[in-house]
Amino acid sequence: MSKRTLVIGDIHGGYKALLQVLEKADIKSTDKLIFLGDYVDGWSEPDKVIDLLLELQQTHNCIFIRGNHDQLLTDWLLEKTDNPLWLQHGGQPTLDCYERLSLEKINTHLVFFQNLRNYYVDNSNRLFIHAGFTSLHGPEKEYHNTPFYWDRTLWETALALDDRIAETDARFPKRLQLFSEIFIGHTPTLRIGKTEPVRVANITNVDTGAAFTGPLTVLDVESGDFWQSSPLPELYPNEKGRNG
């Protein structure tokens, strides 16, 4: 049985989409599953998402990356401080959900969130990270963790690249030369009118807008094949997600 490396984009509480797309991808126990973060905030079933991820961790080789929304929830679980911006940008359904959970379940999930990775580099020098990094010397040289799950300049830099600038040109972004490939989420491809994974230079964006009107995506990093759920509003017709 062949071994695949499958990368999964931002889920944002869309448990139904996660079930659907993992079935479409026909995941096997031999597959490595790399989740790019933002498991919560948007749709109403973040607890079920985390429960499923914890189950998958027992049967598959799973890598769980930290997203900015995961960090926002972690901060709230630890400090219980109000964050109006978080609540306005998808946090309210998550807050409502976690206020109904038992303390035992919350503590189990909190351990999961605290153990998330900021980034992962595989044996093929491929970087998997939620958002990006700012240091020209790579993520291991960052002074702070926040760029790993908040930065958008890595993706914006790739989008702004002039095709006439060769990789050997002194003007070519040094950050893009550090890795053979980079896989990110965080900034929905919907912003450039796409609902499928987008590759620019050596960066592939797998956040296809599941928090909003797009589908959830699973991508095979070797073959480039990908599978998608139904658009999330079809799976949660009575909810808004992060739309409006």
Q: What is the DSSP letter of 17?
A: H
User: Is it the case that residue 129 has pLDDT exceeding 60?
Assistant: yes
Positive or negative, the CA dihedral 55, 56, 62, 65 is negative
Instruction: Report the chain's terminal Cα–Cα distance, integer Å.
Output: 45
pLDDT at 17: 98
pTM: 0.96
pLDDT, tens digit (0-9, with 9 covering 90-100), for 191-215: 999 999 999 999 999 999 999 999 9
DSSP code string of 142-208? -S-SHHHHH--HHHHHHHT--TTS-TTSTTS-GGGGSSSEEEE-SS-GGGGT-SS-EEETTEEE---
What's the confidence (pLDDT) of residue 1?
56
pLDDT over 90 (residue 181)? yes
CATH 3.50.30.50 fits 5-235, yes or no: no
At residue 47, the pLDDT reads: 98
In angstroms, the CA 239 to CA 188 distance is 19
What pLDDT is attached to residue 167?
Answer: 80
pLDDT score at 80 = 84
Of the given ranges (9-18, 20-29, 164-173), which has the lowest mean pLDDT?
Answer: 164-173
